[in-house]
Amino acid sequence: MNFAGTQKVLVADDDIVNRQVLSDLLKPEHTVLLAKNGEQALERAARHLPDLILLDVVMPDMDGYEVLRRLRADAQTAHITVIFISGLGRPEDEANGLKMGAADYISKPFNETVVMARVAMHLQMVRQRRMLEHLAHVDGLTELANRRRFDEVYEAEWQRSRRSGRPLSLALLDIDAFKQYNDHYGHPAGDRALRAVARTAASGLRRPADLAARYGGEEIVLLLPDTEAAQAQQVVSCICAAIVDLQIPHEASGVAPVLTVSAGGATLNSAAPETCSELFSAADTLLYQAKKSGRNRVEW
């Protein structure tokens, strides 16, 4: 994951001179987007997801306060860092802006060096926050979502499925005879095989909302929102077949001459288990069955 790329700054101001001055200041180092009113600011923010917004407060039609309120109300833009930049320079204006959730408040007329320094400082904080989020959510070996991330997403998708009545499918994948693989080929080779399996699982998913996470050791969990059992089973079977197609030799397997996986899956629908741990247990039980009945298979 690269955190060092150019960052995007959206400048929203109804005054063309302000837009021009700020744009000239920021352009050498950042990608600059411009908006001349609140409506445009919201549209560009949603479309480009900038790292930072320099937001004028006094604008006709929709003021900066309203823009900030609407940014926060939309999950996609809720966490974008906003700096107010305003001609309203009284202490209570500044305090009010910060209370509303702006990260900073710059009064006009602004000093160019100070604007640059504050923007640089906030962009650095955005970068650090992204790195922390990555560390908190991504498994270092496989680059899949980690268990913590899975738990968060699973809980949210579970609630959503219960509310909407839409199905939610979940599958557990476990590498067959992986202990023997490590014993035979060594732990570093085991790590490489695990990474290849993880990549194959992730690239076998078909929708943006689908999630592959490393649940533990050599166990991967797949979460398929809005997916009926038959369709989910097909996706998981394709992933398992693609893992066999990697043709990773496994002489010590006892199942096949190449690395294989077993999977158990379950689907939540109106008549299905009551809690998210019951759905998970159902998948786990079916994984156990797949193992017991010979491995290299999917049970649903």
Quick check: helix, strand or coil at residue 181? Answer: helix
Count of residues in contact with ligand GH3, rule CB under 6 A: 16
Residue 295 binds which of Mg ion, ligand GH3, none (CB < 5-8 A, kind-dependent) = ligand GH3
Residue 179 binds which of ligand GH3, Mg ion, none (CB < 5-8 A, kind-dependent) = ligand GH3
- Phi/psi region, residue 247 (left: phi>0; alpha: psi -120 to 50; beta: rest), is left
Active-site pick, 39, 43, 143, 218: 218
List the structure tokens of 72.
Answer: 């926060």
Residue 266 binds which of ligand GH3, Mg ion, none (CB < 5-8 A, kind-dependent) = none
> How far is residue 299's CA from residue 293's CA, in Å, rounded to a whole number?
10
Least Å from the CB of residue 288 to ligand GH3: 9
Least Å from the CB of residue 6 to Mg ion: 27
Helices 38-48 and 64-73 sit at what angle, rounded to 10 degrees? 30
DSSP state of 138: B
Q: Which is nearer to ligand GH3, 112 or 191 (CB)?
A: 191
Residue 56 binds which of Mg ion, ligand GH3, none (CB < 5-8 A, kind-dependent) = Mg ion
Q: Which is nearer to ligand GH3, 101 or 186 (CB)?
A: 186
Distance from chain centroid for Cα 47 = 17
Distance from chain centroid for Cα 74 = 16
Distance from chain centroid for Cα 36 = 31
Summarize as ranges the residues that interact with ligand GH3 (CB under 6 A).
Answer: 141, 174-179, 182, 187, 190-191, 194, 217-218, 291, 295
Summarize as ranges the residues that interact with Mg ion (CB under 5 A).
Answer: 14, 56, 58-59, 174-175, 178, 219
